[in-house]
Amino acid sequence: MAELDRLFQAAKTAMEKAHAKYSDFPVGAAILTKDGKIYSGANIEVISFPEGWCAETTAISHYVMAGGGEITDICVIAEKKDICTPCGGCRQRLAEFAPSDAKVHLCTMDGIVETITMADLLPHGFESDALIKAN
């Protein structure tokens, strides 16, 4: 359980660094790998809204740039909304790197309140294997 506490704290700390001056809706996300590494990110908005990066996209970027690993858990938190799920695009981005049994933890400001799997979050997402077989 200590690792989930660390994951929640990483997502919350990332959310506090969000650059959300246009939506005023800070979000944080954190990814935990099997080897215990945590990669976090916050949403980063730019003036040509809605361009920018979601928190999950930023966390995935840090994860990829650091060499990745097997994702076991993902945590998402939003300051102004209890149980904020990843947007549709981020669901697919997460599914690209996380196995279907990876746990997605949805949070309030106080901690994790609901846990689902990637398969539950995105039941019919695109699978890279289908594209590889098509070629």
Coil, strand or helix at 103: strand
90 annotated as belonging to a binding site for a ligand: yes
For 127, the domain range is 2-134
Selected catalytic residue, list 3, 16, 51, 56:
56
75 annotated as belonging to a binding site for a ligand: no
84 annotated as belonging to a binding site for a ligand: no
- Residues 133, 135: Cα–Cα separation, whole Å: 5
CATH of the domain at 105: 3.40.140.10
In sequence order, what DSSP letters do the residues of 20-40 get, joined into one string?
Answer: -TTT---EEEEEEETTS-EEE
Number of structural domains in the chain? 1
127 is catalytic: no
Residues 78-118 have pLDDT tens digits of: 999 999 999 999 999 999 999 999 999 999 999 999 999 99
Place of tokens 């990483």: 10
Residues 48-80 have pLDDT tens digits of: 877 899 999 999 999 999 999 999 999 999 999
